[in-house]
Structure 1
């Protein structure tokens, strides 16, 4: 389902770190006080969607599983900020959900796995034959055991208003210089060039990720994850400096650290801003709210068109303490099915981390393009990394604070990059 990374990208340490209680728990391996397969109900916890209609449609879709299986699914939701606070506590208490959706990366689901809060479902992969892309499956694999189903595939790039570009005589940017020139033309016309908000902090992580990935490629970013290259390197300083420069030149909304994500998207939907750097999860809202045709491209690089930043959203995991593991796995089999994948594409505008047949799918022209672009991810094309799902909470905090400090002029790009490196060494 479309669980915006705008909510996934800001997880706090209490959810992610064993240090919240100082201990781990031992999985129950699905031991139940009821006969295997006889559980009549399970609880599924997901982040509260921004669109109430999407939740209603999802529940109606899940009802098909309930009818076929005889298993009742109690779908519960929490706002992200609440979920990140209470999820680990619920899982440790044994009173948590049987199945829950959470980020697929090592800093999200991976941390809960290390804390012993997630059930090993390796046998279920063999039993049901789930056809998950290998690169995605790796994100939920720890020490050779598989613990979840990866969430939807996503890209981060640059949406632009085609009508505005045509009116102003702007060609699709093929380099960073092209983007600067386009933004200057837009600003001269009286519009906001780039609808950027960084009030909530996580947005800055995406801004840094897309600029850095396009500049040095996936391997360059991975070298920083591995500690082979410093976060205080000139490339990171340059990526921070790029957004400082854009802000100083009036290419962003006034005081972007006071602009939240919803306000930035509204600027784009309303036609007041010509471009918005964000993720493919926004396609559905663009289709519903914008009265103009949009293009979608990678964030440009200094010497060329750049690459999309790619990643995975939240996906389902099974609690290590559930007493209804068999029923939970039957539900995961439903969520991993191609039929469910096709349904999510058409109804929730998300892209499953598995092969699906696209013939006959009813999607917009923009989403069809995103599907094609994302397919390249699974075929081995170069995609950058969304930094915040791959690093520690301490590095994320340094990154979020650093971008906000750069935007407000309270911190230099050099200081922001140095703070990330210092956090990485802790």
Structure 2
């Protein structure tokens, strides 16, 4: 699903955590406009720890799916739930980045009964803080999920706190017609990628579409380079604060990235991911490393011309089987107004019926439930599902695999600083490591 980020929310990231209360809210209100964030609160949840006698036929849902296409898909899924259960879902939709940046306050305040979130570290982070409800009994009623999905939904205490709905791999996307026109071949290693990029430049294309105005897309580039150069386990340990950012291994990632920047679209800090995707759609760029949601920027007819390959091998000893494939889904508030209704909704969104609705309406994602009828998948979706199925290790994406505060207040500005000036890598990594020590020991 899409991860839209606006300039207003990017600016909010620049506010230090120590003044993230009123100042951050004021900044967002001033930049985004009054009322843009659902009234008086950034995340205006409907639930409350003190609510008890609620209407037995309603359930509130906090949604981060604010782009038109995924928002419409969620509406259809919720309509299916209402028809099946007779319970009316009240969906509270908030801009994706606003939702993410304010999730901690939201969960400690009056969250919705059910809210959308991510699998992996970020799910475990809030489960460990007691800010999410145990949904292990819901899992007892679910079918169609692999052990990998259940593991990604399980907290540190062995209980389940998450119901997966969809996922999408990151890969290098391109237009088949452009590649056929120029006779391009899929690169198998870093040298071939650089050679291909140089040829695309000669042909008048921006070799690799690139955007980081929104702060998060460059994380995908870091992830894949680290996975290819240092392997999955090192990447996971680095995200968990167990490895030093000043190590030679991390330095090699940035050195390699610096060598690739000349074949990336310039001025990335002034461009949104949608704009970069449109340059691919308009045949002005040759490739784009992004999630499957890039398909949202292509018409149905154009999607037949969209293809991808996994980022090529860098170290033969490590190979090219690891990738980012984030899982999106639902969690329950620690004390929902109606726990029974919340769990009924979770059981439905985890069902093959809900998955079938998504398959019919959204070509930019894959459904997690293997019992769904995926015969309606596009060729692109089928290939994406095969890619994930063949992966030996799957990461969740940098800002989901590490502490939320570290990702937003340290990594985003650091990567943007690197893109702007890739010369002082040692100084940059020293700064990241010092901040990491402070955050991970707090």
**Fold agreement, TM-score > 0.5:** yes
- Please state if 1:44 is matched with 2:55: no
Structure of higher RCO (CA pairs closer than 8 Å, 6+ residues apart): 1
In the TM superposition, residue 80 of structure 1 has moved relative to its aligned partner by 2.2
Give 5+ residue unaligned stretches, structure 2: 22-46
Instruction: Give the match for residue 274 of structure 2.
Output: 262
Instruction: Give the match for residue 166 of structure 2.
Output: 152
Q: Structure 1 residues 313, 76: CA separation in 2 closer, same or farther (over 3 Å shift)?
A: same
In the alignment, the residues of structure 1 paired with residue 175 and residue 310 of structure 2 have an alpha-carbon distance, to the nearest angstrom, of 15
- Whether the 8 Å CA contact 2:172–2:308 is kept in 1: the answer is yes
- Please state if 1:356 is matched with 2:368: no
Q: Give secondary structure in 1 for the equivalent of 2:79.
A: helix
Instruction: Give the match for residue 178 of structure 2.
Output: 164
In the alignment, the residues of structure 2 paired with residue 418 and residue 138 of structure 1 have an alpha-carbon distance, to the nearest angstrom, of 34
Q: Structure 1 residues 197, 339: CA separation in 2 closer, same or farther (over 3 Å shift)?
A: same
Q: Give secondary structure in 1 for the equivalent of 2:180.
A: helix
Instruction: Give the match for residue 387 of structure 1.
Output: 398
So what's the TM-score if we normalise by structure 1? 0.84
Instruction: Give the match for residue 53 of structure 2.
Output: 33
In the TM superposition, residue 226 of structure 1 has moved relative to its aligned partner by 5.0
Instruction: Give the match for residue 413 of structure 1.
Output: 425
In the TM superposition, residue 98 of structure 1 has moved relative to its aligned partner by 1.0
- Whether the 8 Å CA contact 1:121–1:146 is kept in 2: the answer is yes
1:280-335 CA distances to partner (integer Å, 9 max, x unpaired)?
A: 22234445374772321111122456235223333111111212110111111110
Instruction: Give the match for residue 58 of structure 1.
Output: 74
- Whether the 8 Å CA contact 1:184–1:193 is kept in 2: the answer is yes
- Whether the 8 Å CA contact 1:3–1:47 is kept in 2: the answer is no
1:29-60 CA distances to partner (integer Å, 9 max, x unpaired)?
A: 998426xxx71111111014312x54334323
Instruction: Give the match for residue 225 of structure 2.
Output: 211
1:70-123 CA distances to partner (integer Å, 9 max, x unpaired)?
A: 1011122011233235544443333x31111012232x3333323322111112
* Superposition misfits of 4+ residues, deviation over 6 angstroms: 9-14, 27-31
RMSD (Å) for aligned C-alpha atoms: 3.2
Q: What does residue range 237-386 of structure 1 map to in structure 2 within 5 Å? A: 237-247=251-261, 249=262, 251-286=263-298, 288=300, 290=302, 293-303=305-315, 306-349=320-363, 350-358=365-373, 361-377=375-391, 381-384=392-395, 386=397
In the alignment, the residues of structure 1 paired with residue 277 and residue 402 of structure 2 have an alpha-carbon distance, to the nearest angstrom, of 27
1:250-270 CA distances to partner (integer Å, 9 max, x unpaired)?
A: x22222222221211111111
In the TM superposition, residue 160 of structure 1 has moved relative to its aligned partner by 1.9
Instruction: Give the match for residue 93 of structure 2.
Output: 77
In the alignment, the residues of structure 1 paired with residue 61 and residue 202 of structure 2 have an alpha-carbon distance, to the nearest angstrom, of 50
Instruction: Give the match for residue 178 of structure 1.
Output: 192
Q: Give secondary structure in 1 for the equivalent of 2:366.
A: coil
Instruction: Give the match for residue 23 of structure 1.
Output: none
Q: Give secondary structure in 2 for the equivalent of 1:276.
A: strand
1:178-234 CA distances to partner (integer Å, 9 max, x unpaired)?
A: 111111000011111110011222112111001111222212312324555322222
In the TM superposition, residue 171 of structure 1 has moved relative to its aligned partner by 1.0
In the TM superposition, residue 63 of structure 1 has moved relative to its aligned partner by 1.8
- Whether the 8 Å CA contact 1:6–1:203 is kept in 2: the answer is no
In the alignment, the residues of structure 1 paired with residue 89 and residue 202 of structure 2 have an alpha-carbon distance, to the nearest angstrom, of 54
- Whether the 8 Å CA contact 1:104–1:139 is kept in 2: the answer is yes
Instruction: Give the match for residue 132 of structure 1.
Output: 145
Q: Structure 1 residues 287, 230: CA separation in 2 closer, same or farther (over 3 Å shift)?
A: farther
- Please state if 1:93 is matched with 2:109: yes
Q: Structure 1 residues 135, 412: CA separation in 2 closer, same or farther (over 3 Å shift)?
A: farther
Q: Structure 1 residues 235, 289: CA separation in 2 closer, same or farther (over 3 Å shift)?
A: farther
So what's the TM-score if we normalise by structure 2? 0.81
Give 5+ residue unaligned stretches, structure 1: 21-26
In the alignment, the residues of structure 1 paired with residue 77 and residue 184 of structure 2 have an alpha-carbon distance, to the nearest angstrom, of 43
Q: Structure 1 residues 116, 81: CA separation in 2 closer, same or farther (over 3 Å shift)?
A: same
Q: Give secondary structure in 2 for the equivalent of 1:145.
A: coil
In the TM superposition, residue 275 of structure 1 has moved relative to its aligned partner by 0.3
